[in-house]
Structure 1
Amino acid sequence: MALIQHRNYRIVFGIVTRNDPGARSLNLPLFSRISFMHSMKALRLMDVQGNEILIADQVAAAEGRKKKRRMKEAAVEAQPVEVEAAE
């Protein structure tokens, strides 16, 4: 209980990622980064130290479903328009 009363603690966020750990917060999607930034700011306002660590994902990724691609419709050729110049 004494550790809590004297604010002698910190919060560590562990982020599991397959991306390069050197990229730091770029491993998160945009809105997750924004949300994480707000959380860290709230911790600082409460005078609590917060850190993050990036953890390499060791699980083999499953192959996703292949999407069927639609055939592109033939482009309609534009007809040339004749414009007369004003004299």
Structure 2
Amino acid sequence: MTMIEIEIDGASVVCREGLPLTEVLMSGAPSWRRSPKLGAPRGMFCGMGLCFECAVEVDGTWARACLERTRAGMRVRTGEGDI
């Protein structure tokens, strides 16, 4: 597969093209999501687009990271730190 560069929360990340975005997010920070109530780290939940727990902003539009495939130049905002 082709190696590409994407941006996650302002940081440049190199990964393989076509990977599920959750795979890239989890490899860099296994607890990239936090519980809205307690603020505790949490990982993925369903991983198949049913629960919306992995919602992120991709190129200005909300998307489920588990269904989104990486592509060159995509800009991802996880909202981490916005709690």
Q: Normalising to structure 2: TM-score of the pair?
A: 0.24
Bigger Cα Rg:
1
Structure with the largest fraction of strand: 2
Q: Normalising to structure 1: TM-score of the pair?
A: 0.24
Structure with the largest fraction of helix: 1
